[in-house]
Structure 1
Amino acid sequence: MDGEQNGTQAQQDTQQQEQQAAQQQTDQQETQGKHAEETGADAGAGSGAGAEAYEKQLAERDSRIAELEAQVADAAKNAEAAEGLRAEIAAMKEQGESDRIDFKLQLAGCRNVKAARAVLAGHGGDVDALKAAEPWMFADAPQKQIGKTGLPNAGTAIDESKQMKRWEKIAGLSDDE
């Protein structure tokens, strides 16, 4: 019995689907008929109702055109903004590359970074090749600070009596005279 009920249920579902399809076709035909009537009325344009409908359609079309033009203008503004951002990104990348080259030259001990940058292009941008070809542009070792201040280094132990004698001698108050 269950098999017969399932078969009957399937037939009913199929019939419902066919009825829905027929209803949709009828609705479409009615819609097309109304559209044809409106188009016919618009084509006649002699009646007052047809003219009003035509004016309404023109107004809707004009407003839609205005909306689309506004969208085009917004897209153009966005494209200009995007292009501006792309240019800014390219400038930042170029500045970063320039800073990286300057830093490499400084680490290599370059005496004049500006002059080395001018010659670097002739060596394929390779700092090591430039250093090998133009050794006079690079210092052998970082320069050490030379000179004395005359004061003891911070944190060193000092002999107070020696320090006092020294200052007395500088001031001209020493007992040796």
Structure 2
Amino acid sequence: MDRSQLEHAIRAATEIIRHDTVVIIGSQAILGSFTEDELPLEATMSEEVDVAPMEDDDAQSLATELDAAIGEMSFFHETHGFYVQGVGMDTAVLPEGWTDRLVRVNNANTNGRTGLCLEPHDLCAAKLVAGRAKDRVFVNALLEHGLVDVDTIAVRLETVRGDDIRRDRALAWVRSSAGR
């Protein structure tokens, strides 16, 4: 995926749900902070943009609307080679203060609409708490390329609340990575 595809996803998602702002919480939020040329391949391999409508209802009706219109196996996906996964704001377990660090993507390519992307260290913390192998590959690639700092990720992980077991596993992984 590249930055123009992220911008297209923001533009399409905000049009569909009729809101000016969405939050990008999946791995492709990294494109809010870096261009595809600055990123390792492991960071841009996904063809999915996880988009959380900011003002969704408890049934996540807007997220469901995104899935139906531009989700996996949709005409949009077939046409553009990527898709939007509508998700809830609570999909990712995030560090305290993450909303203060969101990275704005707002330009002519988004038709003046805004995608609020997770800051890279917050994104890495969320990925490590999720604990999937592909998430560790993603974070490891960013670490190896010097795009994120292991100590900052550890500090952010220490503020994660709600899933102590997965947070502690993530912290152990980060601390073992620090001794590279």
Question: Which of the pair is proportionally richer in strand?
Answer: 2
Higher relative contact order (CA 8 A, sep 6+): 2
Question: Which of the pair is proportionally richer in helix?
Answer: 1
| Global fold match (TM > 0.5) | no
